[in-house]
Structure formats: C-alpha cells, structure tokens
Amino acid sequence: MLAPEQRYYPRVEPPKFIVAAWQAGTLRDVSFLDSISVGGFFMRTKEMLPLRCLVQILLDLPVGQVRCRAIVRRVLENRGVGVQIIAMEPSDRARLFALVESLLAA
C-alpha cells in the first residue's frame, strides 16, 4: 500500500504564460510549468533529465524574475520533470512566495 502524498508546500496551477528557462550541464531549454509551489515545480519538457541532476532555473513571473538552483526529483517520460528548489536568494523567494499566495487566494 502506498503512503499518501505529503508535501511541505501546496501546489497550484500557474498561468499559461509563466515559463522557466533552465540549464543542466550543456542542456538548455525553456519550459512551461504544470504546477508550482514555494518548494518546487513540474516543468513540461521533452528533454529527460536524470534524477538528482542539478538544474539552474530562471522563472519569468509577473512579479519579476526568480533565479534558483534545483534538483530533479521526478521524471515522467514524454511529459516532464519535477524539481525541488535547493537554493535561491531571499528576494527571489519573496517574489515566488507572493505569486503562489496570489494564485492560492484566487
């Protein structure tokens, strides 16, 4: 029997215009997001990144750009990757938090 899914932060569906520019090693791409939270997000991409791969990410949000480093925690073939944020500046975290809070309130 599987344990129920437990997350530290609630996930929300972001607006369709929010994109993530990312780089992992020599791979670079721009991806749309399926879900977003303060702790991470799921990016739609055809490039399958390996689990535990480090990724540098730039999110272009209505509240400003957010830069972070993340680690791949989930890979769904032909769909995308789920990443967990492992490092970001406090000002970037504040912008991401503001976006997620506004989406949760809507």
Structure-block tokens of residue 38: 């303060």
Question: Interior CA angle at 33 toward 29 and 37, to 5°?
Answer: 125
Fold of 19-105: Thrombin, subunit H (2.40.10)
For the four alpha carbons of 39, 44, 45 and 46, in that order, the dihedral sign comes to: positive
**Total-model pTM:** 0.87
For the cut 50, the answer to whether the pLDDT of residue 12 exceeds it is yes
Domain ranges of the chain: 19-105
pLDDT tens-digit series, residues 16-66: 889 999 999 999 999 999 999 999 999 999 888 999 999 999 998 888 899
